[in-house]
Amino acid sequence: MIVLASKSPRRREILAQAGLAFEIRVADVEERLRPGEAADAYVSRLSREKAEAVDAGAEEFVLAADTIVVVDSLVLEKPASEEDAIRMLALLSARSHYVLTGVCVRRGAARWSAVERTEVVFSPLSPDEILDYAHSGEPMDKAGAYAIQGRASRFVEGIRGCYFNVMGLPLSRVYRLLKDAGYNFAAG
């Protein structure tokens, strides 16, 4: 059995569309970047902490992830307010940025983990476009203040890497980690 250590509706949707059976167990983990911590180390640490924070039996596969957006060297997590979302969207306008997702699979005491990186290019956004999108409410629980599968899809000129990573769960990477951990996909 896969245990998804996440309350993210997008992660649930991705796993369900892939035909994977799972149950949800969410643990409370503080998501705070440590001084001097690199972005990839940050998402790797958080995914590991989330995987370790939920109770699971020895034969269960705990799956945890954490996603951030990085532009230049600035880490963009979920916006704290609509004003914060506007600030983030203005930073992303007419630029490329990276979406990083740390993924951890835990089975008993063993861990398998990876960080997926996808480049996303945004078109130029006018102040009115930014305000309209921010007012929609969609950016509020999304890393980098946007949902590629939602209204922000119209801003995306291109991506290099995994589309599902930008949604919050790099499915191909998850598949490989679960395989490495011994998950039997045929038994589901």
- Active-site positions read 66
- What are the CA-CA distances from residue 150 to residues 10, 111, 115, 155 (Å)? 11, 33, 24, 10
Largest CA distance in the chain: 52
Report the C-alpha gap between 168 and 164 in whole angstroms.
6
Q: Which two tokens stand for residue 110?
A: 């063993």
Q: For residue 91, with 0-12 CB atoms within 10 Å meaning exposed, 13-18 middle and 19 or more buried, which class applies?
A: middle
Those residues with Cβ within 8 angstroms of residue 158's Cβ, 6 or more apart along the chain or in another chain: 120, 121
Query: Cα dihedral sign for 77, 81, 85, 90?
Result: negative
Contact 47, 102 (CB under 8 A): yes
Q: What angle do CA 125, 42, 65 make, to 5 degrees?
A: 80
